[in-house]
Structure formats: C-alpha cells, structure tokens
Amino acid sequence: MRYFLSTPIYYVNDVPHVGHAYTTIAADALTRARRLRGQDVFFLTGTDEHGQNIERIARDKGISEQEHCDRIAEVFKQLWERLDIRYDRFIRTTEDLHRRGVLRLWSRLVQARAPDGTDAVYRGKYAGWYCPRCEAFKDEDELRQPGNVCPDHERPCEWTEEENFFFRLSSYAGWLRDAITSGRLRIDPEVRRNEVLSLVEQGLKDFSVSRARVKWGIPVPEQPDHVLYVWVDALSNYVTALGYADGDPLFGRYWQGGEGERLHLIGKDIIRFHCLYWPAILHAAGLLPPSREFVQGHITKNGRRLSKTTGNVIDPHALLERHGPDAVRYFLLREGVYGQDWDYTDAAFVTRFNADLANDLGNLVSRALTMVAKYCDAKVPRGAPAAGRSWPLEAVLARYEDLDFSGALADVMARVSVANQSIVNFEPWVAAKDPARRQELDAFLYELLEEVRLVAVLVSPVMPRAAGRIFAMLGTEGPGPADLAWGRLQPGRPLGQIEPLFPRIEKKDRIEKKEETPVTDASMPAGAQPAGDAPVEPRIDIAEFAKLDLRVAQIQSAEKIPGSKKLIRLQVDLGTETRQVVAGIADAYAPEALVGKKVALVANLKPAKLMGVESNGMVLAASVDGKAVLTAFDADVAPGTKIK
C-alpha cells in the first residue's frame, strides 16, 4: 500500500510554535509506524510563503520578501531537524516547481465546467470583511463586535471591494456531500465530519480566487495584475510537491494512482479550506480529492489560548533543550488525545516524564539489563520457547495508524508496568542464589529482554532515539520491520553498554521553577534577599538615566560564537540601521529561537570586543539563576522605537 501524508504548510509570518510542532511530530510518528509495517509512505511538510502579511513583515524589516522567507523557512527546517522529523519533502511555495504546478492546476480550472454546466471559474465582484492575517474574507457572523474583529487574530478586518476571479463552490455541494457521506472523503474525528456536512447543508458560497492588491504571490496569467488567492496557492502544494507540474511519477504513485490514503493532518481553524475548497478544486481539475482529513485539537496552556502578545507560549526550543526530542515528542502525543483540545502545563510535563519515562520505562530497561549483566555475564540468556507468547503488536500499530497516539502509547506503557511487576513477583535475585533454578532464571530474563525489545520497537515511532539506544544496549541494531516478531534476540549475544535512558527531572531542573520562585517572601528574615536578587543600587538623577539610549531592536540573525559557551553574535535591526551585538545568552536561548524577537538594547554603549567579536550595544535581560531571560513588549513595536 502507498500512503501520502501531509502537515499543513506553515506560514512564515513567524517562527514555529508548539502547535506546528504538534502536527509535524504526529505526522512523523505516523510515518514511522507505517514504515514499521513495511508500508510505502511519502511524508510532506513545508512553508506557506506568499501573501500580504509577508509583504508587510518584509517591508517592516527592510528586507526583501524572499530573504525573509528564506530565513524563516530555515528556522522551521532547523526545528524539525532537532525534533528528529524525517520528512520526504519540504515544499516552499516560492519554489519554481510549485509555481509551475499551481499554474498547471489553474489552467485546468479555467477550462473546467462546474456540475451545473457553467464555468467553474468566472469573473465577479467581491465586497466583504477581509482579515489580512487569515488572508481570507470573513462572514459577518464570524466577526466579533464592535469593530468587526477577526476572532482568530483579534484584529479588525478591512472592508474590501474587488473585481476578482471566483470559484463556483456552490455548484459542488452535492458532490461534496456525496464524497463525505460515502466515505470517499473521510473526515475525522466524527464531530468534525458533522461540522463539515452542516456547512454543506447551510449552503456553500462561491469564493474569490484572485487578489488585486497583493503583489507577493503567483500572478494570474489571464490578469497579471492579480495574484492567485494565497489559499489556492497554498493548498496546491500537496500536489505540486509531488512534481505535478512535470508529470513526475511520484504524483501518480502517491496521489493520482488512488492507492492507499491521501491524508492531510490539519487544525480546526483550516477545516473549510481543506474539507470543502480543496477537494472541490481537485475534482474540478479532474484530479482525485484527498481521501482523508484528520483534524487535530488545539493546545492551550494553563487553560488559556496560546498567544505571543500575552506571553502565554510554549517554546519548543526551551523544552528540547531541557529534555531532548524524545521527551517532547512523547509528551505531546501521550498527554492529549489527538483530535481533541487539551491543556498543557509545565507541571504535567514533569509528572508524565518522571512517571512514564524515568520510572516505568527507564527502570524496566535498566533493571532488565543490569540483571542480565549480573546473572548472565552480560549475554542474552537461553530463551524460553516462543510458543504461547504473543504480544499485541498489531493492535498497537493499528492504533498508531488510526492516529490514536495516546492510546497506542498507553497500551505500551501498560505492558511496561506489567513487566516491572513481573520482576517483583519472580524475584530473580532469589532465583540467582539457587543453581537448581538456573534454567528458570534464564528463561525469565530472556522473556524480560524480549519484552524490553518489543517495547522499544513499539515506542520507536514516537521516541526513535530512545528506541535506538535500547537496541544498542541489547547489543543489536534496529528497530525495523523485521523486529516485529517475538523471540528475535539471539542467546549468547553480548549486550551493549548500559546507560541511563531518562534521568528523572529533579526539582532544580524544572521548567516551572521560575514561576515558583517567590519574588517576596513574608517568612524571610528582615534584610534577607530572595535568592538571586541583589540589593537595589544607589539612586540616580533622571539626567543620568537620560544618557542611556535604549531602543527596541529586532533580532535578524543569531549564531553561536565558536569556542564560547555563552556568547551569541546577533545582527539586530534598529529601524535605521543593522548592528552587530554580542549577547551572553547562549545557555538560555537557541540561536534559531531568537530570530524575529524584539528586545531592549542599550544602543549608545562604546563598542567592545568579546572573544574577538565586536559588539555595538547591549541586549537587556533579567538574570534568573544565572540564566538570561529576555524582555518582551506588550504590543507590537517597530524596531528603533525609543524606550524611556
């Protein structure tokens, strides 16, 4: 079977956040689970780079749109690298291959007839409320009043009138209803399917597919002063990436061949585009629609929606730095039910990590291997007969394939608990003292090692590194599809080096520590300072303060200074100029996480050299336990703005 699987392509208006990571990790885990079953999978992700927003951001930064897109696309790629994401293709909508593919699709659309016999694409006039951040016209009843505010972006929409091309979606309602109810277009979870069907029942409106005022996009051949609507451009990526423009065999193999699944993972805010617009466009162009759309839930933090403005964010880089990719992947997929909204807290991360990974899984692996080292000379003991042994491998893999990641992982962890309990029940340390029980002990330990090996196989889609390390400790390579059967460990084979898998997160390493540290503590003796706080310096005159030229600076690029643990070289945008500044923040921030951030800068310090690199200013930061925490602004501020 052949499987096509995609994430949405992410907007480059900002650096990646945890919502993006969530979908991409899910797609990666699903790909790995399917490959374990020997299936042929194509996993696509990428970036959505056109549109008015990008024009605006690039203008504010004083760089070209392409340069901006290049930088942010790179930040996405770096994060996927750090998270062990192994996609087959990263598509960018500014690639020529994509442009050619979109134009090919478009040329088919303009020739197509809608089901009612009229032209599928026609010229018309549009007037409505347009949200430049969604890059979409909004229905009046969607807007929050007063002020016609977009509910997703909390900014006012603009009343817009335009002469554009339209796509006759209204004529595809019957076809869409039929595709969805027949299951040819499967939408999961069911509540989302019902939601889409009710949109169809309410009546579908034609939508405009070109834009007159936008320049950063793909020009419409019939009207070169228009660009294609960014959603038509973006959705097309799913076929252009397969080489649709050039008749690449990949396109036949993973899409138009109609085998297996053509699955899009999406968020609930982009259902309309993926479940209505996109299938209808493909159908109009004479291509197969997707066969399945899976709508994931939204993550909130501490019960509130994620928002940069309010600072309620989950920084994937910070999590990665502290806990590594496996723990982040595991937590995101285990904690919430994929397809339902769920709430993130730092405390839940620590609890889940310590309970599942450090205690249950980590202990099982270390106990099993240590006992084999001790009682069997660090070699795989003689095995128990394979007959009668069965492991619900297929059931777990089927859960993965159904995108029930938390269910699959819960099943595996339940096995881990049973295995841990079996050690307590059998008491190998007692058997080891009795030479008459040698065979029994070997059989038990062999079984335990097999248990460990199969656990590693089954967590490998989510925790590929840990799985690889467990295999290395077992003295073998893998895991791969050949490892799916019971009894593959060869008696007599030496084990590898035993090492700790997931050391517990101790209180001092906890993420939420910052929040826990009291600023003032009534129980403290008079004169004592809260830990880490220094007494306030002597007072100064305002004239002295006025000597400082403090400015908002936006970080354009960041790289570690080779040979230094703390120093990062930054290029910052000061509105009127770009400066090089050196900041001692590398132990708290990954360079790629800094790009795009707006910080406070002392702009009139004399230049100084740090590790031989010239610094023309100083970035302000709070020092928490010796680590830098950068300042943030409450609202959007232009680079160069004075801070007083």
20 binds ligand MSP (CB under 6 A): yes
**Alpha helices (H) in 298-345, listed in sequence order:** 316-335
255 binds ligand MSP (CB under 6 A): no
Which residues 39-98 are close enough to bind ligand MSP by CB under 6 A? 48
269 binds ligand MSP (CB under 6 A): yes
The distance from CA 383 to its chain's CA centroid, rounded to whole angstroms, is 42
Residue 71 CB, shortest distance to ligand MSP, in Å, is 16
What single-letter amino acid sits at 322? R
Q: How far apart are CA 44 and CA 29, in angstroms?
A: 13
Q: Of 616, 637, 638, 633, whose CA–CA distance to 570 is shortest? A: 616
Residue 303 CB, shortest distance to ligand MSP, in Å, is 13
**Window of 31-39, 152-160, 234-242, 582-590 that interacts with ligand MSP by CB under 6 A:** 234-242
SS3 state of residue 67: helix
List of residues 6+ apart from 233 with CB closer than 8 A: 50, 93, 102, 217, 218, 227
8 binds ligand MSP (CB under 6 A): yes
362 binds ligand MSP (CB under 6 A): no
Residue 285 CB, shortest distance to ligand MSP, in Å, is 16
Handedness of CA 483, 484, 488, 489 (dihedral sign): positive
270 binds ligand MSP (CB under 6 A): yes
Q: Of the two residues 133 and 465, which places its CB atom closer to ligand MSP in the complex?
A: 133
Of the residues 26, 234, 419, 555, which one makes contact with ligand MSP according to CB under 6 A: 234
Q: Of the two residues 306 and 498, which places its CB atom closer to ligand MSP in the complex?
A: 306
Q: How far apart are CA 128 and CA 164, in angstroms?
A: 13
Q: Of the two residues 10 and 43, which places its CB atom closer to ligand MSP in the complex?
A: 10
Residue 292 CB, shortest distance to ligand MSP, in Å, is 15
**Window of 17-25, 498-506, 585-593, 597-605 that interacts with ligand MSP by CB under 6 A:** 17-25
Q: Of 582, 585, 581, 575, whose CA–CA distance to 551 is shortest? A: 575
**Window of 6-14, 137-145, 503-511, 570-578 that interacts with ligand MSP by CB under 6 A:** 6-14
Contact indicator for 607, 614 with CB cutoff of 8 Å: yes
Q: Of the two residues 83 and 266, which places its CB atom closer to ligand MSP in the complex?
A: 266
Q: Of the two residues 176 and 295, which places its CB atom closer to ligand MSP in the complex?
A: 295
Of the residues 189, 243, 257, 267, which one makes contact with ligand MSP according to CB under 6 A: 267
Contact indicator for 266, 86 with CB cutoff of 8 Å: no
Q: How far apart are CA 70 and CA 65, in angstroms?
A: 9
List of residues 6+ apart from 328 with CB closer than 8 A: 21, 25, 83, 316, 319, 320
Contact indicator for 551, 640 with CB cutoff of 8 Å: yes
Q: Of the two residues 165 and 277, which places its CB atom closer to ligand MSP in the complex?
A: 277
Number of residues that bind ligand MSP (CB under 6 A): 19
5 binds ligand MSP (CB under 6 A): no
Q: Which two tokens stand for residue 556?
A: 């354009």
Q: Of the two residues 245 and 501, which places its CB atom closer to ligand MSP in the complex?
A: 245
266 binds ligand MSP (CB under 6 A): yes
Residue 15 CB, shortest distance to ligand MSP, in Å, is 11
Residue 267 CB, shortest distance to ligand MSP, in Å, is 2
**Window of 114-122, 242-250, 263-271, 378-386 that interacts with ligand MSP by CB under 6 A:** 263-271
Q: Of the two residues 341 and 427, which places its CB atom closer to ligand MSP in the complex?
A: 341
Residue 567 CB, shortest distance to ligand MSP, in Å, is 32
SS3 state of residue 453: helix
Residue 439 CB, shortest distance to ligand MSP, in Å, is 53
- Angstrom distances, CA of residue 602 to CA of 111, 516, 619: 60, 30, 6
DSSP 509: G
- Angstrom distances, CA of residue 157 to CA of 58, 139, 568: 21, 11, 39
Contact indicator for 556, 599 with CB cutoff of 8 Å: no
242 binds ligand MSP (CB under 6 A): no
9 binds ligand MSP (CB under 6 A): yes
Q: Which two tokens stand for residue 89?
A: 């293709």
Contact indicator for 300, 293 with CB cutoff of 8 Å: no
Q: How far apart are CA 316 and CA 83, in angstroms?
A: 9
- Angstrom distances, CA of residue 208 to CA of 124, 167, 523, 630: 8, 6, 65, 43
- Angstrom distances, CA of residue 122 to CA of 166, 226, 242, 515: 5, 14, 28, 57
468 binds ligand MSP (CB under 6 A): no
Q: Which residue is nearest to ligand MSP (CB)?
A: 267
Contact indicator for 135, 53 with CB cutoff of 8 Å: yes
15 binds ligand MSP (CB under 6 A): no
Which residues 292-311 are close enough to bind ligand MSP by CB under 6 A? 298-299, 306
Of the residues 235, 448, 484, 590, which one makes contact with ligand MSP according to CB under 6 A: 235
List of residues 6+ apart from 563 with CB closer than 8 A: 611
Residue 640 CB, shortest distance to ligand MSP, in Å, is 28
Contact indicator for 520, 74 with CB cutoff of 8 Å: no
Q: Of the two residues 10 and 251, which places its CB atom closer to ligand MSP in the complex?
A: 10
DSSP 541: -
Handedness of CA 130, 133, 138, 140 (dihedral sign): negative
Q: Of the two residues 240 and 460, which places its CB atom closer to ligand MSP in the complex?
A: 240
Q: Of the two residues 76 and 172, which places its CB atom closer to ligand MSP in the complex?
A: 76
**Window of 72-80, 230-238, 371-379, 421-429 that interacts with ligand MSP by CB under 6 A:** 230-238
Q: Of the two residues 48 and 442, which places its CB atom closer to ligand MSP in the complex?
A: 48
643 binds ligand MSP (CB under 6 A): no
Half-sphere exposure of 495 (CA within 13 A, CB side): 29
**Window of 151-159, 202-210, 232-240, 629-637 that interacts with ligand MSP by CB under 6 A:** 232-240
Of the residues 4, 11, 87, 254, which one makes contact with ligand MSP according to CB under 6 A: 11
DSSP 252: I
Residue 353 CB, shortest distance to ligand MSP, in Å, is 20
Q: How far apart are CA 373 and CA 467, in angstroms?
A: 20
Residue 26 CB, shortest distance to ligand MSP, in Å, is 10
Q: Of the two residues 29 and 234, which places its CB atom closer to ligand MSP in the complex?
A: 234
Please give the residue ranges that form the binding site for ligand MSP (CB under 6 A). Answer: 8-11, 19-20, 22-23, 48, 234-235, 237, 266-267, 269-270, 298-299, 306
